[in-house]
Structures are given as structure tokens and as C-alpha cells.
Chains A and B, each alone.
Chain A
Amino acid sequence: MLRIGQDVYDAIVAHARRDHPDEACGVVTGPAGSDQAVNFRPMLNAARSPTFFEFESGELLALYRDVDERDEDIVVIYHSHTATEAYPSRTDITFGSNSPDSHWVLVSTRDPEAVEFRSFRIVDGEVTEEPVEVTNGKM
């Protein structure tokens, strides 16, 4: 299960809406081993594409440095789908197997009125959806 504060949830959805029709991407970090998604960090989509995302390489390096220095984990990796459902694509599954310890959050912005926010684990090419519990916590 993914437990996530309302503020972080809203920040992810707002980022996805803002970058629509391109895919938005980013992470939420938290204390190592805690599984707490507390520190929201939007990332640049180097692909700037409606169908693909890739963390910009300089930002990726800085992200890992910071996470190491602060003794944090990348608890959530999120990105948006802008025309399709919030479910991992084949490409997501291929790359996702690289990051089996993170929750993969997908947001779909295909409907401007309705929020689709779902969370998955991707391990060895296997996708497992998990429940999302939104809490009142602050970032």
C-alpha cells in the first residue's frame, strides 16, 4: 500500500495538469527504510513528450547525491499519462524493473475534470497494483 499526504498527492496532480499535454515526472523521497513519501521533488522531463518521459541526466545525478547525503530513499517515482489510463505502459515496465524498491505512481490527465491516481510495484517485469491511502499529513 502507498500512504501519501494530501499535500503531496495534490502537488503531483498539479504538476501533471501543468505539464499536460506533455508527460510530467518526479519523485517523492523520505527517510531511508521508512516508506514515507514526504519530500515532493518534481523533475524535468528531458523528452518533453506526450508519450515518453526521462529524468534529465544532470537532475538525476543531483537527485541521487541529495538522497544519499540525507540518508533518504526514493519512495515514489511518479509520471503522467496524458491520453491513456493511469496504468504502466510496456516501456514503464521495462524501465520500472530498474527501480523495484519505489512505488510507481501514475496519474492520467486525459480527463480535465476527473483525477486518476494509481500506484504500482514493478518487479522483474511484473506489475502489481496497490491501494493508495491519502492522509492529512503535511509535506
Chain B
Amino acid sequence: MAIEVRIPTILRSYTGGEKSVEGKGDTLGDLFSDLDARHGGLRGRLVSDDGGLNRFVNVYLNDEDVRFLGGIETPVADGDVVTILPAVAGG
């Protein structure tokens, strides 16, 4: 078992076009580092310079926005599904 991570079109250049990849880790932050080892550059699109979640993406753990869970520290486990979407926002 692993954690399934669904990748939006805009980030599929990092996954060789794959819509979904698998990773592991105890927290979302760990998972993103694990993914970055195979999909170099992906973490930089998800995590900002201060170590928090990048505000240009929405990240969901089993359909819950992780901003309402624990952000980058949210615990994850085998069998979870993480969905990444581009935030749609502006001024």
C-alpha cells in the first residue's frame, strides 16, 4: 500500500504526464519530499520558501482541504488519497 497523489494538468510535466503517482511518508511534508526524489521539482511547486503550503495550490487529503487539517504537517497513511489542484484566485 502507498499514498495515491492526484496531479493536476499544470504539474504533470513533473510526473511524465502521469495523472496519479504514489508516495510514502508520515506527514504531507514527508510525502512531498518523497515524491520530489522521483519527480524532481514537484515539491518546489507545492511548498513555499517558508516551508508552508504554496498558496497557488489547493491540497486535499481524502477530499478535506488540508488547510483545515494540519497544513504541511497533516499526518498521512497508506491508503490515503491526496488531491492537488491549482487554486483559482485573483484580485
Contacts and interface: CB of A to CB of B under 8 A. Distances in A.
A66 B63 CA distance: 14
A79 B60 CA distance: 24
A135 B12 CA distance: 35
Given A57-B67, A61-B63, A64-B85, A98 B56 contact: yes
Given A99-B10, A101-B9, A60 B90 contact: no
A117 interface: no
30 contacts: A47-B89, A51-B91, A52-B90, A52-B91, A53-B90, A53-B91, A54-B87, A55-B87, A57-B65, A60-B58, A60-B85, A61-B63, A64-B8, A64-B85, A77-B88, A79-B90, A90-B91, A91-B90, A92-B91, A95-B87, A95-B88, A95-B89, A95-B90, A98-B56, A98-B86, A98-B87, A99-B10, A99-B86, A99-B88, A101-B9
B83 interface: yes
Interface string A82-95: 00000011111011
Interface of B: 8-10, 56, 58, 60, 63, 65, 67, 83, 85-91
A112 interface: no
B88 A54 contact: yes
A61 B65 CA distance: 9
B47 to A, nearest CB: 16
A131 interface: no
Centre residue among B58, B87, B90 by max chain A CB count within 10 A? B90
B90 A88 contact: yes
